[in-house]
Structure 1
Amino acid sequence: MARRTVGVAMNGVTGRMGYNQHLLRSVLAIRQQGGVAVADGTVIWPEPVLIGRNEDRIRAIAERHGIERWTTDVGKALAEPDVEVYFDAQVTSARREGVLAAIAAGKHVYCEKPTAESLEDALDLARTAATAGVKTGVVQDKLFLPGLRKLKRLMDGGFFGRVLSVRGEFGYWVFEGDWQPAQRPSWNYRAEDGGGIVLDMFCHWQYVLRDIFGPVRSVQALTATHIPERVDEHGNAYAATADDAAYGIFELDGGIVAQINSSWATRVNRDELVEFHVDGTEGSAVAGLRHCRVQHRSITPKAVWNPDLPSPVDFRAQWQEVPDNTEFDNGFKEQWELFLRHVVLDEPWQWDLLAGARGVQLAELGLRSAAEGRRVEVPELTL
């Protein structure tokens, strides 16, 4: 069996997401399964070169997983003759510099979102890559979640009839950092460091809404910093200057109205950390990370509200679980496999840096909407 090796320079793997989802559960998992098999019997084999700012931490990760090549020098990694792909999972404020260096070196680029701190910079990255003729990809992990894949299956099968509305709830309580350590790095709560839930999550909601239901045509948002002071990783109190909650209304093609609440200051009372409730003329669904439940119009019970008596109805019991009908792999790993196939085989690919710029655009317009207190149109982006 022939092996087609693809060198991958991985920047930012000392961070939580870069290490857990991209190195451990994606690239190393692909190697553990024997690579990515293609039709002619060839196996695509990712060969990581690790990059990190902290020499001790990046060396420790390399030694832990038997990875021979690591460096603190991005230029050195990009100069490796077998490196074809540059991956970036750094903090948002550092991403642009790394991606531009990779494009200048003629490398294909795969990166986390948001791709930049501003739409201008995000579009500049997309245009620079297009001019250079390199292939690009942006992580759109939620499209590969089992629950949302089932939801997409329902859409493709016409289950909903005409979709009326989408209601999304996302979030959990992130500890302030004083009496319990916070689950997220402190930079997430400092606007000057690229933090904020709008910049983080509206990039997700853009591709989820676009790919499953249709393009976003307008946004109206209200943001808040509910927890004004937090404690960082070193035990020092700091002012939270970034939004930690956002309440958004999005109008989609076809008149679909989507309402999504995003918060790092809410306690979870739902089945999963994110859930989408979709109502259509023919049926409804509630989809989370893994599960999806439906209720068709033909079996919709007659709901009667009587404020004088407790309801005897178990409403959740009236919904049916959508079966898996397939084996679901880690969503980050699946998208990595698709991008590697795109690089090697030139297979179709839609989640490029322009797609990433759409996410930054929605975040930027959401923040403008909140600042100006008005509904803002979302124009279609082009290079």
Structure 2
Amino acid sequence: MSRRTIGIAMNGVTGRMGYRQHLLRSILAIRLHGGVPLADGTVIWPEPLLIGRSEHKLAELAEKHGIAEWTTDLHAALARDDIEIYFDAVTTLQREKNITAAIEAGKHIYTEKPLATDHRGALELAAVASAAGVRNGVVADKIFLPGLLKLKRLVDSGFFGRVLSVRGEFGYWVFEGDLQRAQRPSWNYRAEDGGGMVLDMFPHWHYLLEHLFGEIKTVQATTATHIPTRWDENDAEYSATADDAAYGTFELEGGVIAQVNSSWCTRVFRDELVEFQVDGTHGSAVAGLHRCRAQSRTATPMPVWDPDKPSTIDARGVWSEVPDNAQFDNGFKVQWELFLKHVVTGSEFPWDFAAAARGVQFAELGLRSAREGRKFALTETS
């Protein structure tokens, strides 16, 4: 058995997502399990180089996890021959510049969403990466959630018959920061810093809906900044200029109507922080991060509207749990393994910059729809 070491410059690992999901639960977890095995017996061994702005935080992380190297100098890291992959989990406004520098240095790129702040920028990155011949990918973690993997199993089996509609609810209450510290970085709520619900989440809804149900044809959205004043990491009051909630309606191929509410200003009264209900002619299902429950046509009860009497139907009790029937790994780790294989062997990796650019276009048209109060086809770019 031979080992194929691959150096990865990981930028933004001191942030919440960069650290918890990409470093701790993906790259370090892969190392803990002995690397990524290939069919020929080779094992891919990721060797992370931590990049960030804070020397103190980087040194602390490196010591805590036994990581050999870290730096605050991105360009020095990109100049190293042993670094083959650049990973980006920094704020959105810095991403295009960083990725462009990595492409110019001949590195393969793996990055968080969104790829860019606008469609034009995303298309340019896709074109430059293609011309340079570097492999590229963008995080599509929602596809690999256990609940949505089980939902995909139902879709592929024909359980739903003809899918009629999809209704999604995502979000939770993000504290304003005065009485209790906010759970998300303050830049998320400033449009000038690349924040906003639509730019953050619509690219995710784009790849997820198309992966499960087919191509999105139109987008219509309403956005809001429900909480206009928040407090940042230094307890300083600031004005929230980005949308903190988005209410979207999308038409998909085959006549499927999808409605997705995304909000950081909602208190959760559902089983999971994200849930999708799918209704079809032969059955329905509700899927979240972990669970998926289904109700077939023949098991559907017969509600009768009667405002004068309580319902005798246990609406939740008449749904059946879709079994795991498999071991589910962390979704970020699974996609990292696929990207590492893609870099080393050229195996398929459909979540590339070109696909991500369509997700950015989806977000851009969602924001435009909210401004202009009309529906847009996804082919419209001007």
TM-score range, shorter chain: over 0.9
| Residue number in structure 2 paired with 1:188 | 188
Name the counterpart of 1:151.
Answer: 151
> Match for residue 52 of structure 1?
52
CA distance in 1, matches of 2:349, 2:121: 22
SS at match of 1:134: coil
Pair 1:255 & 2:276 matched: no
Matches of 2:235 and 2:82 in 1, distance apart? Answer: 43
Deviations 1:314-333 (A, max 9, x none): 11100000000100000000
Change (3 A) 1:380 1:68: farther
CA distance in 2, matches of 1:72, 1:125: 24
Matches for 1:138-177 after TM superposition, within 5 Å: 138-177=138-177
Partner residue, 2:271: 271
Residue 292 (structure 1) aligns with: 292
Range that drifts further, 296-305 or 267-276: 296-305
- Cα 1:161–1:380 shift into 2, 3 Å: farther
Structure 1 residues 380, 106: CA separation in 2 closer, same or farther (over 3 Å shift)? farther
State the 1:380 CA deviation. 8.5
Equivalent position amino acid for 2:166 in 1: V
Q: Cα RMSD over matched residues?
A: 0.9
Residues of 1 paired with 2:262 and 2:152: CA distance? 21
Superposed displacement of residue 215, structure 1: 1.3
2:93·2:117 contact (CA, 8 Å) conserved in 1?
yes
For residue 16 of structure 1, report the CA deviation from its aligned partner. 0.4
Instruction: Give the Cα separation in 1 of the matches to 2:58 and 2:355.
Output: 30
SS in 1 for 2:317: helix
Matching residue's letter, 2:19: Y
2:114 aligned partner:
114
- 5+ residue gaps, structure 2: none
Q: CA separation in 1, counterparts of 2:362 and 2:293?
A: 29
**In 1, Cα distance between the equivalents of 2:155 and 2:379?**
24
Distance in 2 separating the partners of 1:293 and 1:149 = 12
Instruction: Calculate the TM-score normalised by the size of structure 2.
Output: 0.99
Provide, for residues 113-152 of structure 1, a one-character-per-residue CA deviation record: whole Å limited to 9, x for no partner.
0011111111110000000011000000000000000111
CA distance in 2, matches of 1:96, 1:78: 15
The answer for the alignment partner of 2:27 in structure 1 is 27
What's the offset of the Cα at 1:308?
0.5
For the residues of structure 1 that align with 2:121 and 2:115, how far apart are their CA atoms? 8
Letter in 1 for 2:150: K
Instruction: Letter of the 2:232 partner, please give it.
Output: D
Give the fraction of aligned pairs with identical amino acids, expressed as a percent. Answer: 67
Q: Which amino acid aligns with 1:45?
A: W
Check if 1:239 corresponds to 2:239.
Answer: yes
Deviations 1:229-259 (A, max 9, x none): 0011101110000000000000001110000
SS of equivalent to 1:315: coil
Q: In the alignment, which residue of structure 1 is the partner of 2:374?
A: 374
Residue 375 of structure 1 and its aligned partner are, at CA, apart by 0.7
Cα shift at 1:301? 1.2
Structure-1 residue corresponding to 2:178: 178
Partner of 1:344: 344
Shift of 1:80: 1.8
- Helix, strand or coil: the match of 2:222? strand
- Which amino acid letter does the alignment assign opposite residue 337 of structure 2? E
SS at match of 2:188: helix
Distance in 1 (alpha carbons) for counterparts of 2:186 and 2:82: 36
How many angstroms apart in 2 are the aligned matches of 1:181 and 1:355? 36
Q: Give the TM-score taking structure 1 as reference length.
A: 0.98
- 1:283 alignment partner in structure 2: 283
Amino acid at match of 2:178: D
Q: Which residue of 2 aligns with 1:326?
A: 326
- Name the CA shift for 1:102/1:212 in 2 (closer, same or farther; >3 Å): same
- Preserved CA contact (<8 Å) 2:303 2:313: no
Q: Which residue of 1 aligns with 2:230?
A: 230
